[in-house]
Structure 1
Amino acid sequence: MELPDFDAMNSTLETAVADYPVCQAWREGAEDSVFQLANIFLVLGFMGGSGLYGLLYMLTLLTLGFFCATVWSWEDACTTDGFLWNFALFGVCVGQLVHVSYRLRIVTFDKEFQELYNCMFKKLGVSLSHFGKVVACCDGDLQTLEKDHCFAMEGKTAIEKLSVLLSGRMVVTVNGEFLHYIYPFQFLDSPEWDSLRPSEEGVFQVTLRAESRCRYVAWRRKKLYLLFAKHRYIAKVFALVVRNDIAEKLFSLNDKAFDSSGHRYDLRLPSYCHVPKPDLDKSDALLHVPVQPAAK
């Protein structure tokens, strides 16, 4: 049995190792300033916060960092793959930066829509991009109603839109009796909107008449429900502002619930109802408990 030639094996191993040189000693000096600047930008970029502005901050610094890394790797002929990777990441960051900047672009609206945003939607944290979708849903149209003209007639006008008063004042009546006023940046038909499902139809149970020249914005029910189906966030915002408007109207009726004939109206129902005001004199008689004579 012949023994293996260990000398030949060692020479083969030495040849293989020679093809892949290793670092014999650490460099005496550090890398150039471009390399250091690239890593500083990357460290600062990964410290970005949340939200669109945090994303904009992070992508800006990452873009600068990968750009400096691309320049540094281009100067070294032995780092072709490093150059390609850095350049690819630089391109991705540039694309994301452009996309985020587009989402944060300054959106301008007409004066009335800007006031509507400031009064109703800004305090809820709704972004201008989301509000732009709300404005686009009504095609940016504003409606005008002259003095003493009716927005809705009791028992006649169909419930087919949701509207917000922007200027002027409207009065709400039922059976000719005053119910309450509607002021700017309040919904005109929030109780009617909330009382119907998307597939249901109905008519107004109150009359809305303009006491002065009024301006309002209106969204068609079908278009608004399509917007809600695409953007659940907008649907939740509208559900909040509509129900808050209904609550404010109900609280405003506390001191005006009884009319001259002693009837009370209730806006919480799809159709109004009235309850007779109790007669306090008769109620005292009902509350009287007869005293039984003492037993002998």
Structure 2
Amino acid sequence: MSTNSTLLDRIVFYPILCEGWKQNMEGAIYHLAGFLLLLGFMGGSGMVGSIFIFGVLTAGFFCAALWGWLDACGLDIFIWNMLLVLICLLQLAHLVYQLRQHAFPEEFDMLYKQLCQPLQVPPQVYKEIVKCCEEQVLPLAKDQNYAVEGKTSIDRLSFLLSGRVRVSQDGQFLHYVFPYQFLDSPEWESLPPSEEGTFQVTLTAETDCSFITWQRKDLYLLLAKERYIARLFSVLLGFDISEKLYALNEKLFAKFGLRFDIRLPSLYHVLGPASSDMELEKEPEETEGPAAPSGHLPTFVQTAPAAPCTVSPPAPPAHLRRPRPDSDLSGEDSTSLVLEDFAELTGSFMDYLSEGEYMK
């Protein structure tokens, strides 16, 4: 091999092979170091995974340093491995400090594990969300109202941590709110930031409950500043509202024995409690002369302006709606009443369409 050959030539083209292998094996410390290094690189992601990786790597590099000091008798081996041990210790201390800095109370820690950790929300982002609600868990005693229909203003967004809350409207039960669900997500989504409004439902605690709440103004400022948090709340609120809608659908299925579609128009007016006295008072007014189609029609037909017409089409016959059964009744009678009302709704709507009034 020439003296002017490069290092690459000596490694690739003219390798120096071992003329003889050592008869004795390395000590147990060397093999333990290799096993610990392999185990360290098998760690997972996240804060806990990083702590595991650097903790095991620290032990592995320390074993390699001991091997270089005791068996290999190489000063360079010992120095390099001790430097790697020092670097791993510094990184490990930094991770433990971050973990302690992002420590939360028990309720908020459980909330993070149940809600945010499956979505891989970083602890730093979750800390901003918790900071916005001032890290306070508020109690709600049994039979205490969180909101009263038509009286309580919509000025906050709350999240239930424990207990069960009953939602009702006009004294009629709608659905329950269970732990790790928003208490007032429909009201929050239905009201623009620049407007004010009141609750259209009553929320009453059936058991001792606890919840966290964000003030409306503070939360809107946070959502405007942090785009990631705004998207996160959009997803959580959308999922929560869909759960409440399907809870209403399941309630109707359990009540009458048949499944309704939540997209039916004016479903609440068809299935809601009707006052027989009010309808008896309205009956003479309906029979006096032709009237516009009643509340059986969908919302978009009611609001459409009617064009002038020389020949007024006959109005659909006004039917007297029977009183609705109570919420705890079910069976053949209640099912037949609902089917009759649904037939009235469909018949009135089809008559209106056949007259061509919606095309004018």
The bucket for the TM-score relative to the shorter chain is 0.5 to 0.7
Aligned-partner residue type, residue 65 of structure 1: G
> Partner residue of 1:167?
163
Q: What SS is found at the alignment partner of 1:203? A: coil
Measure, in 1, the Cα distance between the counterparts of 2:232 and 2:146: 29
Measure, in 1, the Cα distance between the counterparts of 2:132 and 2:86: 35
> Partner residue of 1:85?
80
Aligned-partner residue type, residue 348 of structure 2: S
Measure, in 1, the Cα distance between the counterparts of 2:85 and 2:64: 9
Deviation track 1:57-115 (CA, whole Å, cap 9, x = no partner) reads 432321111112223334577524x43332221112123334445666796745x6577
Measure, in 1, the Cα distance between the counterparts of 2:219 and 2:88: 36
> Partner residue of 2:213?
218
Q: What SS is found at the alignment partner of 2:246? A: helix
Measure, in 2, the Cα distance between the counterparts of 1:261 and 1:181: 19
> Partner residue of 1:193?
188
Q: Is structure 2 residue 257 aligned with structure 1 residue 257? A: no
Within 5 Å, which residues of 2 pair with 1:97-108?
A: 97-101=92-96
> Partner residue of 1:265?
none
> Partner residue of 2:36?
41
Measure, in 2, the Cα distance between the counterparts of 1:47 and 1:125: 23
TM-score normalised to the size of structure 2? 0.52
Q: Is the 8 A contact 2:146 2:205 kept in 1?
A: no
What is the Cα deviation at residue 276 of structure 1? 1.8
Q: Is the 8 A contact 2:166 2:173 kept in 1?
A: no
Q: Is the 8 A contact 2:175 2:247 kept in 1?
A: no
Q: Is the 8 A contact 2:57 2:88 kept in 1?
A: yes
> Partner residue of 2:50?
55
Q: Is structure 2 residue 118 aligned with structure 1 residue 124? A: yes
> Partner residue of 2:67?
72
Deviation track 1:40-63 (CA, whole Å, cap 9, x = no partner) reads 322332233444454344323211
Aligned-partner residue type, residue 277 of structure 1: H
Q: What SS is found at the alignment partner of 1:59? A: helix
One of 277, 281, 289 as aligned partner of 2:296: 277
Q: What SS is found at the alignment partner of 2:236? A: helix
Q: Is the 8 A contact 1:171 1:208 kept in 2?
A: yes
Residues 1:201 and 1:90: Cα distance change in structure 2 (over 3 Å): farther
Q: What SS is found at the alignment partner of 2:115? A: helix
Measure, in 1, the Cα distance between the counterparts of 2:82 and 2:98: 25
Aligned-partner residue type, residue 234 of structure 2: A
What is the Cα deviation at residue 251 of structure 1? 2.6
One of 241, 249, 257 as aligned partner of 2:236: 241
> Partner residue of 1:15?
none
Q: What SS is found at the alignment partner of 2:147? A: strand
> Partner residue of 1:183?
177
Deviation track 1:5-36 (CA, whole Å, cap 9, x = no partner) reads xxxxx9xxxxxxxxxxx999657344444334
Measure, in 2, the Cα distance between the counterparts of 1:288 and 1:61: 75
Aligned-partner residue type, residue 81 of structure 2: N
Query: Gapped runs of 5+ residues in structure 1?
Result: 1-9, 11-21, 263-274, 290-296
What is the Cα deviation at residue 162 of structure 1? 1.2
Q: Which moved more, 1:220-229 or 1:63-72?
A: 220-229
Residues 1:137 and 1:36: Cα distance change in structure 2 (over 3 Å): same
Within 5 Å, which residues of 2 pair with 1:146-165?
A: 147=143, 149=145, 151=147, 154=150, 157=153, 159-165=154-160
Aligned-partner residue type, residue 169 of structure 1: V
Q: What SS is found at the alignment partner of 1:217? A: strand
What is the Cα deviation at residue 190 of structure 1? 0.4
TM-score normalised to the size of structure 1? 0.61
Aligned-partner residue type, residue 276 of structure 1: G
Aligned-partner residue type, residue 206 of structure 1: Q
Residues 1:192 and 1:90: Cα distance change in structure 2 (over 3 Å): same
Kindly tell me the number of residue pairs found equivalent between the two proteins. Answer: 250
> Partner residue of 2:351?
286
Measure, in 2, the Cα distance between the counterparts of 1:171 and 1:41: 57
Measure, in 1, the Cα distance between the counterparts of 2:136 and 2:217: 16
Q: What SS is found at the alignment partner of 2:134? A: coil
Measure, in 2, the Cα distance between the counterparts of 1:171 and 1:145: 14
Residues 1:224 and 1:30: Cα distance change in structure 2 (over 3 Å): farther
> Partner residue of 1:6?
none
